[in-house]
A and B are shown apart, each in its own frame.
Chain A
Amino acid sequence: MALKDITLGQYFPGNSLVHRLDPRTKLIAVVLYIVALFLAKYFVTYAIMFGVLALSIAISHVPLKSILRGLKPVLFIAIFTAVLNLFYTTGTHVLVHFWIFTITLEGVFQAFFMVVRIMMLISGTFLLTYTTSPILLTDGLESLLNPLKKIKVPVHELAMMMSIALRFIPTLIEETDKIMSAQRARGADFESGNLIQRAKALIPLLVPLFISAFRRADELAVAMECRCYHGGEGRTRLRQLRYRGIDYMTIAFFLVVTAAVFVLARFGL
């Protein structure tokens, strides 16, 4: 059951302004947001970025709790980076000095901003996957990457593979759960023993899982061919992506924010 509780950028159905934006708009906005986040330097610029994030979350109506839950797994990485920055940043204002370790005021700030940056980075991208269904997301990605077709990049095929992969994550998790229970019912033990014993214990789980994944892939391929799928050439869409006024406004807003952060960071703010 524990496997089912994993939130892997889960889609949170809703009808907020953020949900209704064109997926391409959201993708562009997230890219701009990330760029701005890396340009940010000090309190003022970080405060602006935090404001943008808070505003987006507020408009999206995604409960804060689920965003925070998504942050839990990266907490370790964040703390790890913070500790590294804390000790390895050189500066002039030495706060503590013992043995070979030196903590400077610059280091404290650096560590703090690093944690904030990672957390905001993850929250921002989570907001994208929380408010955009995987299908729309890949549609948007395909449409944005379309120019690459000119240089023979198989954009449609890549997007199709991505949506199929995303579609089958929950199915495979469920399947894993089922096979695990079935083998446990026959006395398999996945929880105890040393590393080698545990690796061996996975065989009864992995073999059936692979077989069923291949079987599913096969069946899906046949089903797609039965419906005359033959790649992206000349394929029309049920859902046409279309920019509306609000989309242009959103992109303009994010452009302004990025530019503002760029300029302010130049002044060391």
Chain B
Amino acid sequence: MEAIIETKQLSHIYSAGTPFERGALVDVDFTAYKGEYLGIIGHTGSGKSTLIQHLNGLLKPTSGQVLFQGQDIWSDPKLTRFTRFQVGLVFQYPEYQLFEETVYNDIAFGPKNMGLDEKEIDRRVREAAYFVGLRDDQLDKSPFELSGGQKRRVAIAGVIAMEPKVLILDEPTAGLDPVGVESILGNIRDYHQVHNATIILVSHSMEEVARTVDRLVVVNDGRIPFHGTPREVFQHGGELERMGLGVPQMTRVFHRLRNMGVDIDPSVYTIDQAKEAILRKLRSGKGAV
């Protein structure tokens, strides 16, 4: 697979040279591949927010490199700006960044900054609004008249309208009800499939990440202790729990079963997989329960 974003020996220290100095990232080698759906998981303060802000050039590394399509994004100011548009970043609670008079104008803010012409901006705004499920008549409303969930859709559309090759979302479902969570995750998946874009989903909820991503990167204490498919990562159940992350409920049940002496595959993380595993176990005959 071809890498789209890479970091090489990336370190970041906040407030360097003052008594408040603290390292947020330490020699991080991170890779996101073209077209993959990647999850980044870590608890609050692990450095995951610092990491993603490096990926689109909002933060400058204290040492190390950030490569976008093989080029160091800090080698040229033009390239840094270009990367910001190519790597879209949706912050946590993005609804608090809305400022325009109408929803339409707010979504158009990014494309306008890219210097696109009116026609292209219009196309992108409407397409982005469609992706997040906003109706046409909502485009002329003030964003402040909308509900919290709708505001969040507008904010996400504002980043999607830049049509980034990589879309990074920091806890996009935080504080939403279950229906809202499902629909936002669906919107993101649609964008992923239609544009063949790379998606990086940041979360602290194992359940959510496990259901959606192809590959998982765990961030802890400014380092990446392990990464791989959810199945591979969940095999480190004990270590994850010590990091305060925990594993999905299903995985926990199966780990427990195994500890009780049942010879069963502990790397399942969805109900379907659990069903499969149990059926397989039962069919294979007399389990040693």
Contact = CB atoms under 8 A, between A and B. Distances in A.
B279 interface: no
Contacts, number: 59
Interface in A160-204: 178-179, 181-189, 203-204
Contacts of A179: 96-97
Contact of B58 (A181, A189, A208): A181
Given A179-B96, A208-B96, A185 B89 contact: yes
A211 interface: yes
Contacts of B81: 187
Contact of A187 (B15, B85, B98): B85
A212 B113 CA distance: 24
Nearest to A184: B58
B84 A187 contact: yes
Given A66-B19, A211-B144, A186 B109 contact: yes
A214 to B, nearest CB: 11
B47 interface: no
B158 interface: yes
Interface string A93-116: 000000000000000000000000
B114 interface: yes
Contact of A182 (B18, B94, B114, B162): B94
Given A179-B97, A203-B99, A185 B159 contact: yes
Contacts of A185: 56, 58, 84, 88-89, 91, 159
B14 A1 contact: yes
B110 interface: yes
A254 B88 CA distance: 60
Among A179, A186, A188, A204, max chain B CB count under 10 A is at A186
Nearest to A205: B99
B59 interface: yes
B55 to A, nearest CB: 11
Nearest to A207: B99
Interface residues of A, number: 22
B150 interface: no
B96 A188 contact: no
A134 B56 CA distance: 38
Nearest to A187: B113
Given A4-B15, A5-B18, A181-B58, A208 B99 contact: yes
Contact of B110 (A63, A181, A186): A186
Contacts of B99: 203-204, 207-208
Nearest to A10: B20
Contacts of A1: 14-15, 59
A250 to B, nearest CB: 27
Interface in A29-81: 63, 66
Contacts of A212: 96
B53 interface: yes
A243 B127 CA distance: 69
Contact of B158 (A181, A186, A208): A186
Contact of B97 (A4, A183, A203): A183
A119 B26 CA distance: 40
B59 A182 contact: no
30 contacts: A1-B15, A1-B59, A4-B14, A178-B91, A179-B96, A179-B97, A181-B53, A181-B58, A182-B91, A182-B94, A183-B97, A185-B56, A185-B58, A185-B88, A185-B89, A185-B91, A185-B159, A186-B113, A186-B158, A186-B159, A187-B113, A187-B114, A189-B113, A204-B97, A204-B99, A204-B109, A207-B99, A208-B97, A208-B98, A211-B144
Interface of B: 14-15, 18-19, 53, 56, 58-59, 81, 84-85, 88-89, 91, 94, 96-99, 109-110, 113-114, 144, 158-159, 162
Given A5-B18, A185-B88, A187-B113, 5 more contacts: A4-B14, A186-B109, A187-B110, A203-B99, A204-B109
